[in-house]
């Protein structure tokens, strides 16, 4: 499928480049998962969420690869979720390092104070539920940046993020485990 994209790489150079890069990454990831199993799922999960603002679109393929190689969906979800949470620490620490900028705007904008108050009063529950959402209205990187900038406790941030992402990844892993055979059955009918 990705090979079809590359034949139009002259007409659509960005699409061709992205398609070839994604194909290479998926090939490498597949080999990595086949050799290292759950450890590879964890590492790929961390890589997929470690980009601040521009994340790598490999979260779903990471879970799919684990299921495709016959790994247990519960453990795939657990290792992927812990990897996703670990990758989000990059955004947290980027925000923590840029907290001087936060201080500058905190005094000028009332809304910034409200966000900071929300994080400190209800941060754990908010972070946990937001990280569990499969589709987010705003990238989770923003939550990580703001959590770090407002000096939200890193242990609480990681715990809440891990719980949310593990729940999300386990549900997705079981959905894939159930759905892949159905898709194969549909493909066999055509």
Integer Cα distance of 159 and 85 in angstroms: 8
Find the mean pLDDT for residues 32-56: 83
Q: What is the pLDDT of residues 84-103, one digit of tens each?
A: 999 999 989 998 888 777 67
Integer Cα distance of 18 and 186 in angstroms: 29
Find the mean pLDDT for residues 137-153: 83
Residue 3 pLDDT > 50, yes or no?
A: no
Integer Cα distance of 184 and 70 in angstroms: 15
Break the chain into its structural domains and give their ranges.
37-189
pTM as predicted: 0.78
> By mean pLDDT, which of 42-46, 134-138, 159-163 is the weakest?
134-138
Find the mean pLDDT for residues 58-70: 84
Residue 147 vs residue 180, higher pLDDT = 147
């Amino acid at each position: 499928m990705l090979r079809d994209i590359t034949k139009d790489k002259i007409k659509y150079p960005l699409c061709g480049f992205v398609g070839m890069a994604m194909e290479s990454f998926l090939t490498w990831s597949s080999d990595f998962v086949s050799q290292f199993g759950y450890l590879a799922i964890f590492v790929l999960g961390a890589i997929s969420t470690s980009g601040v603002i521009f994340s790598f679109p490999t979260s779903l393929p990471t879970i799919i690869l684990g299921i495709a190689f016959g790994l247990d969906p519960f453990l795939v979800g657990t290792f992927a979720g812990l990897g996703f949470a670990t990758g989000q620490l990059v955004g947290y620490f980027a925000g923590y390092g840029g907290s001087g900028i936060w201080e500058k705007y905190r005094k000028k904008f009332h809304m910034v104070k409200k966000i900071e108050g929300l994080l400190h009063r209800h941060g754990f529950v908010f972070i946990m539920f937001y990280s569990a959402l499969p589709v987010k209205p705003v990238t989770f990187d923003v939550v990580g940046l703001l959590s770090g900038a407002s000096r939200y406790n890193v242990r609480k941030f990681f715990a809440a993020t891990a719980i949310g992402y593990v729940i999300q990844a386990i549900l997705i892993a079981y959905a894939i485990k159930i759905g892949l055979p159905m898709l194969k059955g549909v493909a066999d009918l055509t």
